[in-house]
Structure 1
Amino acid sequence: MDKLEARMRGTEAEDALPKMFVGKMKTYLRCINVDYESSRTEDFWDLQLNVSGCKSLHDSFKNYIEVETLEGDNKYAAEGYGLQDAKKGVIFESFPSILHLQLKRFEYDFQRDAMMKVNDRYEFPEVFDASPYLDDDADKSEPYIYHLHGVLVHSGDLNAGHYYAFLKPEKNGQFYRFDDDRVTRATSREATEENFGGDYQINGQLQKGQNPYTRQWSTKRSNNAYMLVYIRESRLDQTMPEESKIPPPEHLPARIAEEKALAEKKRKEREEAHLYMQVLVATEKHFKAYQGADLIPWAEYGADEQEEPAAPKAHRLLRSMTVSDFTKMMTKEYGAEEGTLRPWIMVNRQNGTVRPDHPLTWPDMTLEEAANKFSTRTGGFRVFLEAAEKDADGKPIWPSEEPVSAPSSPMTNGNAMTVQQQQQQRPIMIFLKYFDVDKQQLNGLGHIYMSPLDKAEKIAPHILRIMGWEEGVSLELYEEIKQTYIERMKPKNTLIASEIQDGDIIVFQRHLSEDEQVSIRQIQPTASLTAVEYYDFLVNRLFVHFTPKIWPAQTFQVQNDDQAVFKIALSRKDGYDALAHKVAEHLSSVATKPVEPSHLRFTTVNNQSGKPRTVVKRLQGSTMASILLGGSAGYGGYSYSQPQAPDHLYYEVLEMSLTDLEQRKNVRVVLLSEGITKEDPCDLLIHKQATFKEVLAALQKRASLPDDIMDQIRFYESHQNKVYKILPLNQSVLALNEFMTLYAERIPEDEANLTEENGDRLTPCFHFEKEPSKSHGAPFLFMVKGGEAFKDAKERLSKRTGIKGKNLEKVRFAVVKGGQNYSRPVWIEDEDVLSEKLQDGDHLGLEHANRNRSNWIKYESLNIR
């Protein structure tokens, strides 16, 4: 409703929603003995009515406007009149045309300490008169008679259930039941009486019914109304006009027409699907844009060209289209000159690669025939479009299909060559890739034609020409057989001896001297120095997202906030140091100052909540695979721990090195001030061999404590909100338990006068609600004076805890034997002498409500707005 109201703001219909749904109520405080009233008028869009303790809708309204008398200690401070007896309440000044009533079927049960559904019987009429609940001064010129037009129902309990509704869409029509995608007629009884809730009754006899969701038997109905919609009788004609027809928005018919046209297009495609086939087309442009193994990523076909420029393009073509027509269509689509493109059939090799096999040179052959004859069944029909080089006259140059050896060559011994020999000696198409060590990139450069009888070293002149390098550059050549098998080529071997054929890929790089290798390692410690190493990186490559664990970061700054969240490529084999170096390298490029790898710490991410999970430890032999995918597996290989994200890590830039940090311990100290009402948690990094003297110094620096009170600070541990023991300053922090809470406080002044000879002693105190096992809040130490009456001790307790006035009156005090959870409290009266009631080991308990209870127990009403 809020969004709708905001969209209507500034239009002709700006006030339409408030006119229909907004009423007014007045909250007032009216003095009984003097003429003084304080009131405030507020708008309401819906009303939340109590169900518990109310039998009908009228009872709920009476409960809503019930007047409370403020008297005695609860008098009202009237301006100019002092404390006065007063009446406090709510009254309605007007009701809207459409009245939404929320019935509070879900409430917190203090006995069960849980939210519960109220299934009590609650009656609501079809015709409702709201005038008795209006202010005497309200405008009653128009009757406030309302007719029921909507009943929203919940069937089930708090944990499981189903929602449906009964609606009356016409002024004098009948109810319809709207249940998911089913709409059925319903009677008035089905809409009202059967949703009152309460007991199952048949012929006046109490019966048991079964909750369909929990399968439990109960005498209470599990289906009942939780919201009602009433429409004012005098406004029915305006709210639900019978004759008028509202024309649809102008854009709606156009949108419906588009949807119909799209549906018709899809229908036609389905009917004609047998006439078409999918053809995947790749060009040299795709090869040059690809950073990976093989020619191109065939599996990425159809991807957005901006996101994946190497992805082949998918075409839906007629099966009867000829190769000649297909070539002409591709020539036009790619803006090439006629006769400069030639399609090659792509086939699956036994080693799992996809390479060009031979050109399609039969112009009259159909695509279906070509696919059936030459293409493999898996992967569809894939084609590589070869673009020819041009001569000086601009004419395309295609390699000769004739064998390169003369008939009298040694291979033939003067005899005529066989077909196989001719195939082996014709020019072969070889694809070239360049591994750039400095940029750590693998770039496709294009293709060349070579004779099978040429030696591998003859590829070098072609490479120097393409790269624009001078002669004398030392090269290393590798054949990419498959992603996991990269073989160094022997320069003196012929291509036919190296088993090079059409579509094979040769990777080259500049030869690196030892000095160059050392220099590169200094700049990029994790860089791959050979193509073999880089292909191994590609095989194990994974992209990991990095997010700062604390933001805004205090230890480093980036030029742009967006640069703090990034993604980099890592190898599954990378260890912790390699991970830290690569992240530090990226952060140094975007931060205002360099980031040291030794100062980085990482945390895994919970895959469900996205919150930090566990800190990654710098272990010998750990890899990215174990860091991201690690975790203990339970029975059957299932992990019982919280699942972690396989591609996401949080990072921190520390003020000290990780090695230094590992020698320290995180000590959380809760600093108490203002009695014990204010708690300031402080996380301190303390050396593991330090004592609490060093903790005190760190706390002073963190909390800016003055020097003159430092000798008055003490530490104590607590467990389950009860004091465990006082910690001396010479105690080592290694003795701290993780499950204990550490408190620091300034020693109260009255403890300076503690005299054991007079019976004075320190007693541990804790807060609890109803019973000692339900402890809460910060425990503390209190000096009990020998022979002091409790009413005097209570004043000192008020000062000690910061609990004063009426809040102190609500607290009950008890002696809890041994501080045990299930000890029966011995309540203390003002006349009691506390030192006599307390024995060694006893605790003083303060019984009062837990004000810091979790928010989940609070009733959260449905807000229509």
Structure 2
Amino acid sequence: MDQIGSDMQLDSDYDEKTYVNDTESVALITNDDADSMLDESLPPAEPAKPMADDHEAMKERFLPSSPDYETEAEAIFTWDITDWRSLPKRTHGPTFNCAGHPWRVLFFPAGNAASESVSFYLEQGFGDEKPTDDWYACAQFMLVLSNPNDPSIYIHHEANHRFTLEEGDWGFTRFADKNKIFAASYDGADRPLVEGDTARMTAYIRVLKDPTGVLWHNFVNYDSKKETGMVGLRNQGATCYLNSLLQSLYLTGAFRKAVYQIPTSTEQERTNSTSAYALQRLFYRLQADQVAVSTQELTHSFGWESRQIFEQQDVQELSRILMEKLETHMKGTEAEKALPDMFVGKMKTYLKCINVDYESSRTEEYWDLQLNVSGCKSVDESFRDYIQVETLEGDNKYAAEGYGLQEAKKGVIFESFPNVLHLQLKRFEYDFQRDAMMKVNDRYEFPDVLDCTPYLDETADKSEPCIYHLHGVLVHSGDLNAGHYYAFLKPSKEGDFFRFDDDRVTRATKREAIDDNFGGDYATNGINGAAKGQNPYTRQWSTKRSNNAYMLVYIRASQLDRILPPEEQMQPPEHLPIRIQEERVAAEKRRKEREEAHLYMNVYVATEASYRAYEGTDIINWTSESETDL
């Protein structure tokens, strides 16, 4: 070591000639600055503990309202419990009201199947006057047990529940340790929580509005047809992605109508268009059946084997293959131009010289568009990235025919957009650093109403407005290796969104369909820092949402009435219901025969004459028509 002065040491490799004594580059840290830096590195201080009798402070601290839910009504009720040890094993508090429903606290002083604990529950208070079978109430609630003489001594628990006739109470079997609440000193205080056999129970309840009808639903005996008028599709193993796409196409009414127009009345027509016929049958059953429909006929018509049923296919590729097959079957029919009219747009790839009058361009048709998610925050940014102009200059000049090397502009511009716009969001892409395919869970926003005019060529026909309304959001939840697909779709022009999750169909809010599927980080918590969510398929925790949109369906506003016609205009061909009904009758007959087969038996009688006449190795010829079948 070389020594400079008396107490400063430098490494021997240090070059003194490069050292600059620049006071401007030195930060002077005072004691105040150090305290400030230390404070910034610490998490925010936790608010002071509220008193049990400060009801508003208790509610704000432990039962805050959520912007995700709309409150119907709130109530706070206090019950002073006396003679604790003399109470029956099962005790009810007084009945109180919230949102027009009666409520009460159910109390087990000696515990409910937990002798070391005391048990408290919130219960619907109808008593002997039972509510109707379809009664329910969605409630957030908190139960607080406190010392009425010292409100700083208390214990509390919170929960959410959908109260129904079958599940009329919900709460906490192990609300508190029985020994601790009677101890002379509770939680560091100088007195017990239950003092003199007396305590105070305060119930906080917030009844929420349930616009979808399925908030916190357990879906036991749930009937999609009854609740929504629609049915789902059964998952064959790993066909949830297919189910989402099929529901989207089915609810694009003009597409369903075009599929029904494919001729399949004769055996020859059905043989020549197996996929189209299978799709017709599937669509009709989605209209007519009362329960979820199988997709086995359709996948069988694709030629899929069992292995492919359990493999996730590319949705965009599957959609294009299906469209190509259907377009082939529609040739020469009244639906011949239906698919291009709905789904085909045009884009122009061009190279235009800057200094000379030369342009090379090529116009192509497209059925859907792939938009970048990585590096873009919204659909608008993705479109602007799509049509971004690249300048060819320097060593990268363009060799223009007849003009030599020229500076040029290269890009893509849209000449037209289809009436039904399918946007494939590139949520899965190759990560060069990891050398693997990864899912992009970044936040990516998409609007309810999309204006595509800014992305059109200046010379494009703008006689029909390029304003689009969101019709469908297809969602992937999970990561590249494990996940699930479902869809939010709007069946009618002015209607609500519905969630199609394999065999289950439920109503959905606009927030659930749109905002909740932007992806990105979970909302942060001011006290606990960044919030995390658990991937339901990998069981891993992450600060980013794993459920996000991977495909969007927009319909041109001026064509909504034509693309989404009334249900009566989308009736199947006459032969289809008849044939399916005949098949069901025949299948029911075979099923009944199998079930009743054990009730019958065939009896054959061998006579002496037949025995003498038969020369084979058996007793007689049992297959002979001359024998009597009894």
Query: TM class, shorter-chain normalised?
Result: 0.3 to 0.5
Question: Considering only CA atoms, is the larger Rg found in Structure 1 or Structure 2?
Answer: 1
TM-score (norm 2): 0.45
Higher strand share: 1
TM-score (norm 1): 0.33
Larger RCO: Structure 1 or Structure 2 (Cα < 8 Å, ≥ 6 residues apart)? Answer: 2
